[in-house]
Amino acid sequence: MKARQLALVMAAALSLGACSSLNPFASGDSKSKALKPLTNPVAITETWNVRLGNAGVFVLQPAQVNGAVFAADSEGDVVRVESGRTVWKTRLKTTVSGGVGASADLVVVGTPKGEVIALDAASGEIKWRVAISAEVLAPPAVSDGIIVVRGADSRLFGLDPADGKRRWMYQRATPSLSLRSAAGVVLDRNAILAGFPGGKLAAISPANGSLMWEGTVAVPRGATELERMADITSLPVVGSRATCAVAYQGRVACFDMSNGSTLWTRDLSSSRGLDLDEKHVFVTDDKGAVHALDISSGASAWKQDLLAGRGTGRPLASGEHVVVGDSEGYVHLLRKDDGSLVGRQRAASSPILADLQRAAGDIIVQTRDGNIAAVNVK
């Protein structure tokens, strides 16, 4: 049985093609679709660039708090960067596989052996280390009141920020076959939002880990276990008008945050993820094309497929643009109103697998090989 499950997992990973963040067998260096010259491009400048170690086989995310950027590499180096200056660097002497989560007080990472490590955000001093019984692949969600760590088996652990002691654990039944994912959870006001294998989005109480509501993003379909995979492998997003998530081999769905009722669904497969603003939901599909959907109805507003085949990552809505990274280290700007490509900047030569982040007016990029860069749109 174990051999059969391993074979299925390998087949699933291979079926994802260019999606290196989920596919441990893909290098992300395969030849991408050629870029065409842009006419009168919007100026994008690099504000700063800091070198860190590589992410190895993991997807490590930078985090920003009040303009400070925190990042880690797989060798266990964790840094705080401000305006391109490394304020501190702490060597943990252990592999880091999940991170970075941060608040104004704490920086938190996880390891393949299930250790969660918290550092002081101001000094980099290690505050505590605790063990959970699960590999950590995702950035912990950190606030003053609770730290939520997601295990690779999709269990959620609520930890006390003061000492790391466990307050609660949330667990649910998952399909026998699921995708290996670095997606964590969103800690929003009075709820923790997490997507799960099988296409479910759950809102969980930060106080005690109880289920508040559950919504169906995708319904597994097909004759085989591979065909029935409909996992949510990216972060949900929360806006003033809707809470939305997307599933691999599934759909985009938006919900009423107050009670979990479904506002609309739209067939569209994505393992990369989505973002939103007041008018649109922006989604990168599994071929790398970027879509804009009307936030009220899910109707298509535009589709930009010139980035298909380039390992395009999760979109980030920023000002008048949608920003995406790709497998060759480029950052691309798309106009929000029509999806046209209007700017690009190469942050590095290695793939951008981590989600782009905002920090003090810049877009923060972390590449697989360890470049942490800030780019600015003029």
CA gap 326, 344 in Å, rounded: 11
CA gap 72, 62 in Å, rounded: 7
Higher per-residue confidence, 370 vs 222: 370
Find the mean pLDDT for residues 263-273: 96
For 94, the enclosing helix (H) or strand (E) is none
CATH of 60-175 among 3.30.70.20, 3.10.310.10, 3.30.420.40, 2.40.128.630: 2.40.128.630
Residues 271-291 have pLDDT tens digits of 999 999 999 999 999 999 999
CA gap 46, 60 in Å, rounded: 21
Find the mean pLDDT for residues 32-41: 86
Distances (CA, A) of 226 to 12, 20, 155, 189: 6, 18, 22, 36
Residues 88-113 have pLDDT tens digits of 999 999 999 999 999 999 999 999 99
DSSP string, 114-126: SEEEEEETTT--E
| HSE value, Cβ hemisphere, 13 Å, CA-based, for 192 | 28
Average pLDDT, the chain: 90
Find the mean pLDDT for residues 317-325: 96
Model pTM? 0.91
Find the mean pLDDT for residues 194-212: 96
